[in-house]
Amino acid sequence: MNDHDLTEEQRMIRDMAREFARNEIAPHAQAWEKAGWIDDALVRKMGELGLLGMIVPEELGGTYIDYVAYALAVEEISAGDGAVGALMSIHNSVGCGPVLRYGSDEQKQHWLPVLASGEAIGCFCLTEPQAGSEAHNLRTRAELRDGQWVLNGAKQFVSNGKRAQLAIVFAVTDPELGKKGLSAFLVPTDNPGFVVDRSEHKMGIKASDTCAVTLNNCVIPEANLLGPRGKGLAIALSNLEGGRIGIAAQSLGIARAAFEAAVAYARDRVQFGQPIIQHQSIANLLADMHTQLNAARLLILHAARLRSAGEPCLTEASQAKLFASEMAERVCSKAIQIHGGYGYLEDYPVEKYYRDARITQLYEGTSEVQRMVIANALEHYAL
């Protein structure tokens, strides 16, 4: 996409995020990966720059312009480090998003300003050990006792789970109602009944804290119910569009970083008397990689524009997420190939990009789930 297709505001946000990522994220990504933690000062700076409130309106403390600006910023931050991109995308989409859409006025006024500023980070507690994409098959229970909700259960793969101050927790309130018996709750993570069991040791995005959580007689006020009782499944599904746009943009950022590293290496590496970028086999790889990056960006920004206009875009967001995440693995793999044996070493960044990219085909709905969504939409396809 050319700059003339973007507004001045969109370009300014992209350029700000790009400069920030290159100067303050990328140089530290390896150190944060080894530590298994993103530096707290970096997260505070992201909040100050408005990167953590990009879907929240200005009157609630946010910096919302549109989803195009958001997608561009996530791409840039993820090019600096996929783990930081994960924190940003998850916090914005499924941390701020449900509160913005379903919160009461009191809940919005209390939580959105601190979430948008980064003073509080959000996490999303839906997945359970036995229930991933099958969101209605939850075992976590919430019982109303004497004006308070009591939550018990276990959650798995909670991104930002150790860092978060607010957890959006999904639990069954009315088992006999099946899918209509699921509700959502706002749970401050300093609640003694909210227990982070462990941080998972992962293949990639290691600096992003992914946790297993137990809710052990977790008592919260009745007013912490998010949205109407029984609307939990609708709340969970309502964030799919924005969430998938964010993960697609994260995929694109990681892949672009790998591509740029491959181009730089191919220009410098000399074999048979010339830089390998002049070898036709390498040039062809780079041409394909660049084409796939641009195709992914067009899909992402198309979905983002629809989302900004308030148009339904679940199919478009799923297509963007499916293509971008699978493209990222291919591009990162080819970047390693171009580096030869050096690409397999930790001394070079491309092996990390490859590991970081792999998760994008799994969270916010696997590639298989994206294909199901896209195929289901074909029942209404206009011939």
**SS3 for the chain, per residue?**
CCHHHCCHHHHHHHHHHHHHHHHHHHHHHHHHHHHCCCCHHHHHHHHHHCCCCCCCCHHHCCCCCCHHHHHHHHHHHHHHCHHHHHHHHHHHHHHHHHHHHHCCHHHHHHHHHHHHHCCCCEEEECCECCECCCCCCCCCEEEEECCEEEEEEEEEEEECCCCCCEEEEEEECCHHHHHHHEEEEEEECCCCCEEEEEECCCCCCCCCCEEEEEEEEEEEEHHHEECCCCCHHHHHHHCHHHHHHHHHHHHHHHHHHHHHHHHHHHHHCEECCEEHHHCHHHHHHHHHHHHHHHHHHHHHHHHHHHHHCCCCCHHHHHHHHHHHHHHHHHHHHHHHHHHHHHHHCCCCCHHHHHHHHHHHHCCCCCHHHHHHHHHHHHHHCCC
For 27-63, letters b (16+ CB in 10 Å) and e give ebbeebbeebbbbeebbeebbebbbbbbbbeeebbbb
Contact 159, 205 (CB under 8 A): no
Contact 320, 300 (CB under 8 A): yes
Q: Which of 351, 364, 368, 379 is catalytic?
A: 364
Residue identified by tokens 């957890």 is: 167
Query: Is 106 among the residues known to form the active site?
Result: no
User: In one letter, which amino acid is 186?
Assistant: L
- In the numeric block, which tokens belong to residue 253? 């950022």
Catalytic residue ranges = 364
